[in-house]
């Protein structure tokens, strides 16, 4: 036989396998390089600006970031866990609808929700105008209304958009818990609320930690919503230090502080689920029967479940859709929007193709090679999702510009032609940033798909004289098409919605839907931005529908919910690489 096999199904070869391992190492280097570059940029020092940053910018940014993360963390944990328990422990009218409707806020990026509510809650917006008409108040300032441009407003809006991260992982954990265990607690005289707090909740703490960590990293990466709502987080400070003060080392120093917070969140999450092994087999036992709710209790439960859906998706989506319709009816669809749609699709499609290719490479190398370093390279290649877009952009600037200048000088000396900024000017650096940022999704999707393929397929291929690479191309790749399709869709939509990295790395005069929306919000022209926002929401609905159908299919197949493909991919960065369905987040 041409090779031998491990108990994990890995194929051990010589030269061919070594080439896969080297290729995987190169991908890992490409992902880690921006972080190393960031440290080198920060070490240059920011000159006379650093005392100002240290005394005024950094303390305020750290304070507001800490308050924001604390508030969002409390809100997503409370809301997501409560919703997960209601959907697991109780039966009521419309429960099947809420099963997928509670995922809808995932389709609306945080900056779009903030953009919509700034217009909705404006003194001359529809809500305040309607209330003044209802109470007969003619003075525009005659009605007191809480200001959405505040820390409280930012926490509430981010919480209502990001709670699905906690809801998904926690509900899956509740569904895995043994029905006999929960029912035994009831027979001992414990009320359903006592069973929740004393039995179900402690067992679900690792899953809650996974979801909360992902939600907090999303909040930390946000730049649009925070800036729109007047909150000076670290992401906003990085952007303003670089763009407004033209100080890249100072921005890199703030970015390093932000990276420390990200690493702390990951370590906190791992510590919180350190005892997950005690519940890893729960998916094999009978689920507890949900309790039927009727009358007043059923009505109150339905009203509570509607609240996050309406605030996190329905209100902003309907308002933006109506504004977009009015804008199109009045002035048609501008040529600029068509160009931005084309730019968005083109740059996202290229990044998706490259991310899938590299994700397949590193995941396949981990299966083929016997070296433990292959798994390390896979984990390293997935670290980009943990790096916020602003931090990633700062880390890419110096090496990319240096390479640009070197290429331009070389081509001018050899061929006598001037090409300008070949890499950054063509959008290549933006594709690089997208690939680094979302490689975890493609690599996680491929790894999850490969884990379901029997090692006997590898053995049969190698026994017939096929190389490791040939087996991957001819046997595994056709079988991985569903996993690759799901990963491609998720990567594409995430690239489309990415704002921080796009703002900082886009070429001159290159606009996407996300940057167009940001510009219109900065100018206060909300009607013009509504068309771009509606396009992003409509595209964002596609993976939400797909993920809801995937979850429903698995519930029917296994009697319980399983994590979405997105959760599998994104959770790669937080753990040891095992599929979520076999871990606490399942």
Phi-psi region at 117: left, alpha or beta (left = phi > 0; alpha = psi -120 to 50): alpha
The predicted pLDDT at position 557 comes to: 46
Strand ranges in 435-492 using DSSP code E only, listed in sequence order:
none
H or E segment at 291? strand 291-292
Beta-bridged to residue 291, according to DSSP, are: 90
Q: Which residue has the tokens 């290549």?
A: 428
Asked if residue 500 lies in contact with residue 223, where contact means CB atoms within 8 angstroms, the answer is yes
Helical residues (DSSP H) of 102-150, grouped into ranges? 110-120, 126-135
Asked if residue 164 lies in contact with residue 80, where contact means CB atoms within 8 angstroms, the answer is yes
H or E segment at 11? strand 11-12
Of 432, 184, 209, the C-alpha closest to 286 is: 184
Radius of gyration of the chain (CA): 25
The predicted pLDDT at position 550 comes to: 62
Per-residue pLDDT of the chain (586 residues; tens, 9 = 90+): 344 444 344 444 444 567 888 888 899 888 888 888 888 888 877 666 667 777 778 888 889 999 999 999 999 999 999 999 898 888 889 888 998 899 899 888 999 999 999 989 888 888 888 888 888 888 777 788 888 899 999 999 999 999 998 998 888 777 766 455 555 555 555 566 667 766 677 777 878 888 888 888 889 888 889 988 989 888 888 888 877 777 778 888 888 888 888 888 777 767 766 655 544 444 444 556 777 888 888 999 999 999 999 999 999 999 999 989 988 888 777 888 889 999 999 999 999 999 999 988 888 888 777 667 877 888 888 888 878 888 888 888 777 877 877 887 777 777 777 666 777 777 888 999 999 999 888 888 888 777 777 666 766 767 666 666 677 777 777 777 777 887 888 889 889 989 888 988 888 888 999 999 888 887 777 777 888 999 999 888 887 777 666 655 555 444 443 344 344 334 433 333 333 333 333 2
**What is the sign of the dihedral through the CA atoms of 512, 516, 519 and 521?**
negative
CA–CA dist 440, 569 (Å, integer): 6
Cβ neighbourhood burial of 303 (10 Å; 0-12, 13-18, 19+): exposed
CA–CA dist 536, 514 (Å, integer): 8
The predicted pLDDT at position 316 comes to: 93
The predicted pLDDT at position 570 comes to: 40
- Residue 533's alpha-carbon distances to 230, 298, 342, 348, 549, in angstroms, are 20, 35, 15, 17, 25
The predicted pLDDT at position 283 comes to: 44
Domains, in order of start, for the chain: 18-580 (1.10.3720.10)
DSSP annotation of 187: H
Helical residues (DSSP H) of 369-427, grouped into ranges? 373-381, 389-415
The predicted pLDDT at position 564 comes to: 40
């Amino acid at each position: 036989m041409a090779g031998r096999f491990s108990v994990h199904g890995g194929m051990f070869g010589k030269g061919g396998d070594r080439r896969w391992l080297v290729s995987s190492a190169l991908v890992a280097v490409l992902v880690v390089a921006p972080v190393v570059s960031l440290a080198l940029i920060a070490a240059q020092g920011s000159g006379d600006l650093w005392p100002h940053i240290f005394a005024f910018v950094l303390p305020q940014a750290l304070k507001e970031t800490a308050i924001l993360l604390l508030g969002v963390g409390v809100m997503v944990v409370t809301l997501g866990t409560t919703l997960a328990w209601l959907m697991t422990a109780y039966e009521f009218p419309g429960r099947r609808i809420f099963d997928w409707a509670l995922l809808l806020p995932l389709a609306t990026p945080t900056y779009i929700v903030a953009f919509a509510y700034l217009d909705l809650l404006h003194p001359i917006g529809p809500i305040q105008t309607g209330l003044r008409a209802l109470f007969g108040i003619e003075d525009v300032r005659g009605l007191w209304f809480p200001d959405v441009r505040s820390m409280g407003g930012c926490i509430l809006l981010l919480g209502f958009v990001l709670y699905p991260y906690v809801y998904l992982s926690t509900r899956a954990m509740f569904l895995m818990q043994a029905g006999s265990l929960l029912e035994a607690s009831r027979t001992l005289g414990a009320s359903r609320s006592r069973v929740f707090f004393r039995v179900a909740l402690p067992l679900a703490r690792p899953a809650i930690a996974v979801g909360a960590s992902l939600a907090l990293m999303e909040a930390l990466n946000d730049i649009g919503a925070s800036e729109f709502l007047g909150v000076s987080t670290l992401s906003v400070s990085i952007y303003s230090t670089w763009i407004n003060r033209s100080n890249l080392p100072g921005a890199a120093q703030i970015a390093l502080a932000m990276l420390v917070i990200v690493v702390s969140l990951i370590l906190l999450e791992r510590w919180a689920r350190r005892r997950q092994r005690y519940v890893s087999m729960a998916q094999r036992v009978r689920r507890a029967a949900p309790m039927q709710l009727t009358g007043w209790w059923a009505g109150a439960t339905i009203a509570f479940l509607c609240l996050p859906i309406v605030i996190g998706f329905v209100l902003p989506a309907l308002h933006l859709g109506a504004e977009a319709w009015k804008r199109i009816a009045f002035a048609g669809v501008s040529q600029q929007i068509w160009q931005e749609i084309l730019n968005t699709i083109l740059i996202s499609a290229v990044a998706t193709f490259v991310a899938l290719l590299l994700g397949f490479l590193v995941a396949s190398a981990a299966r083929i090679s016997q070296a433990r370093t292959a798994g390390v390279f896979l984990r390293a290649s997935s670290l980009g999702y943990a790096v916020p877009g602003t931090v990633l952009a700062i880390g890419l600037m110096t090496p990319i510009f240096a390479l640009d200048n070197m290429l331009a000088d070389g081509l001018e000396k050899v061929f006598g032609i001037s090409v300008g900024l070949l890499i950054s000017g063509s959008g290549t650096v933006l594709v690089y940033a997208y690939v680094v940022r979302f490689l975890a999704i493609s690599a996680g999707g491929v790894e999850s798909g490969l884990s379901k393929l029997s090692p006997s397929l590898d053995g049969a291929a190698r026994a017939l004289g096929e190389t490791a690479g040939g087996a991957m191309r001819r046997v595994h790749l056709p079988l991985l098409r569903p996993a690759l399709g799901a990963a491609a869709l998720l990567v594409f939509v995430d690239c489309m919605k990415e704002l921080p990295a796009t703002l900082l790395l886009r070429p001159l005069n290159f606009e996407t839907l996300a940057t167009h929306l940001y510009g219109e919000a900065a100018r206060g022209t909300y009607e013009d931005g509504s068309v771009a926002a509606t396009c992003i929401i409509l595209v964002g609905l596609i993976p939400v529908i797909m993920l809801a159908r995937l979850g429903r299919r698995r519930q029917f197949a296994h009697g319980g919910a399983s994590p979405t493909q997105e959760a599998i991919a994104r959770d790669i960065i937080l753990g040891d690489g095992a599929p979520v369905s076999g871990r606490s987040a399942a």
